Amino acid sequence: MRISSRRLGVYAIALVFAIVMNFTVPRLMPGTPVDAMIAQLGSRATPAAIEAIKARFGAVDAPITIQFVDYLKGLATLDLGVSVKYYPQTVVDVLARSTLWTAFLVITAILFSLLVGVTLGAVAAWRRGGRFDTIVSPLSVVMIAVPPVIVALTTLFVFGVSLRWFPVGYAYDPGLDPGLNFAFVGSVFFHAIMPVLTLSPYLIGEFQTTMRSSMISVLGEDYVTMGRAKGLTSTTVMFGYGARNAMLPVLTNLALMLGAVFGGSIVTEIVFNYPGLGLTLFTASVARDYPVIQGQLLLMTLATLGANLLVDIIYGLVDPRLREIAE
């Protein structure tokens, strides 16, 4: 499977734009965390101490072009600086720890929502106009429209505070030592239930709506009619012939939704105090930890671009007719 040079060029331009914006925007904001640290020193802010702090956090007085070159060198060597909030940890260390939790949360929510949404969409299309369709399809529209913060707060209050079925914070029981054992892994999945349930409604609604529309157009194809003529069961024709060929728009929609998924994960992690990129971004913003903010925004951009590229590749593998030949 090859991707056209034009498509790769679009990804390259998006990456360059993200890097430039990631470098520029923080430098346009008034004040820096280094200024706040120097102000806290008060009378102890000797010239030597000020220079040491500026050098440690990269707040050097240099032309903007030199700063940009140094920034690119740092990206090339994965040197994103030192975190102000989590000093003396580096930005890479902070983001690496948070990325694992966000990746686990997002991937789990996507897989769960994909299974549920595609199944509901296929059945709704198969029984178009029936009672199942008239209930599920409008409900999906409502699920798409409800903001993630409302879902998160409602889930937290109902299942965490009122019913006390699930823990209301953290990624696992603080009393457990992390490791590949049943107690720790079970605690991780148990603590992830409410965050996953918070991210899932929007995804399920999108997948159901897209799958239903695509499935309806597929059901009129000759190979579906042939499957029915062979006497195959409705389930076999529905999923083996219909749903399988109706999945391509769902994959496309998944690529388009990744930005919204990351946005929803940020809100979800803040509400549930989940130690992922969302909570890290929030604490870094409060502390004006610009190195972490820069690194995280760039990481999320790279993740979105990489996921879109992966979907393009999978798209071509699923449907050989759509394979692009490199120009």
Reduce the secondary structure of 248-270 to three states and give it as a string: HHHHHHHHHHHHHHHHHHHHHHH
What does the pLDDT look like over 134-177, one tens digit per residue?
888 888 888 888 888 888 888 888 888 888 888 887 788 877 77
- CATH number for 92-321: choose from 3.20.20.70, 1.10.10.10, 3.30.70.60, 1.10.3720.10: 1.10.3720.10
CA distance linking residue 123 with residue 235, whole number of Å: 9
For the residues 249-278, what does the mean pLDDT come to? 79
Under 8 Å between Cβ of 307 and 106: no
Residue 86 — pLDDT band, cuts 50, 70, 90? confident
Distances (CA, A) of 128 to 49, 88, 143, 312: 72, 59, 20, 30
pLDDT above 60 for 320: no
End-to-end Cα spacing for the chain: 13
Domains of the chain, by residue range, sit at: 5-77, 92-321
pLDDT recorded at residue 326: 42
CA distance linking residue 264 with residue 102, whole number of Å: 11
Higher pLDDT, 275 or 49: 275
Under 8 Å between Cβ of 64 and 44: no
Indicate the range of 23-27, 210-214, 298-302 predicted with least confidence.
23-27
Residue 54 — pLDDT band, cuts 50, 70, 90? low
If one counts every other C-beta atom within 10 angstroms of the C-beta of residue 39, the result is: 10
User: pTM score > 0.85 for this model?
Assistant: no
Higher pLDDT, 73 or 50: 73
Length of the chain: 327
pLDDT above 80 for 29: no
pLDDT recorded at residue 45: 64
Helix ranges (H only) for the chain are 5-28, 33-41, 47-56, 64-76, 91-126, 131-145, 148-155, 182-218, 222-229, 234-235, 244-245, 248-271, 277-286, 290-318
For the residues 115-129, what does the mean pLDDT come to? 85
Residue 326: DSSP 8-state: P
pLDDT recorded at residue 78: 79
For the residues 257-271, what does the mean pLDDT come to? 79
pLDDT recorded at residue 317: 64
